[in-house]
Structure 1
Amino acid sequence: MIPDYNGNQRYFCERRYRLSLYLERWFLGWEYETCYHSADKKRGAVRWLIVEADGGMPVKVAFTLQPNRKDPQGVMIHVKTVHAYDWSQPPQMPHPHLPFDVLIKGVGVNRKAPQPRQRSGR
């Protein structure tokens, strides 16, 4: 066990650590990936999820966004978790979503996330 940034004892997961090493490459290549909106109304948390199949292994990345204080058109991405994920059951339709580039541009330029769209049931 190791302490996290809040001093809580956490188990270190070698597999999640290895996945985290790919985050920069993934974020730079996710321009058109779909981001699913995930809000926890009890906690007031809003997160975005991207599910990626990298080298045949599905992973889930949950993150939050906020405008960058130093760069007027920049964003700060705070990754909450990254782990292997069974994506055999996609979100129930309709599920709020946005393309990654629209989300990033909205936060960077307009200083807030655009409203997610409802996925059409196809």
Structure 2
Amino acid sequence: MVVVDLGEIAVTLTRQVLLATVVGVLVTLILAWLSYQAGEAGFEGLSNALFWQNSLLQSAVPPLDLGTADRPVYDGMLLMILAFVLNFVIGFIVYGVSAFVIVSRMAERAGHLRSRR
């Protein structure tokens, strides 16, 4: 088992922010890829859980009814694309902030930073 002491790595605030940003981007991209693979394998529920922000935002987009009452045709393509792009931004922020909190607490416990309390 490999144990990494992040307290030594994350001495400065700049390093903490950089590390949290990298972790936020990587976690978001990996979960998006795993979600795609789960969807391709037929595990739709797992796919929705892994990329939860996509499920949340795209379900909130109202589709436009372009068809008739007998043959409805729904379209919301531009809004869906915007929601898809925003999914990554939300993931970067949520996972990046989470990583920053974890890294800064680990640095405080290791004695590299003073407590902000």
Q: TM-score, normalised by structure 2?
A: 0.28
By percentage of residues, which structure has more strand?
Answer: 1
Which structure is richer in relative contact order (CA contacts within 8 A, separation 6 or more)?
2
Q: TM-score, normalised by structure 1?
A: 0.27
By percentage of residues, which structure has more helix?
Answer: 2
- Between Structure 1 and Structure 2, whose CA radius of gyration is higher? 2
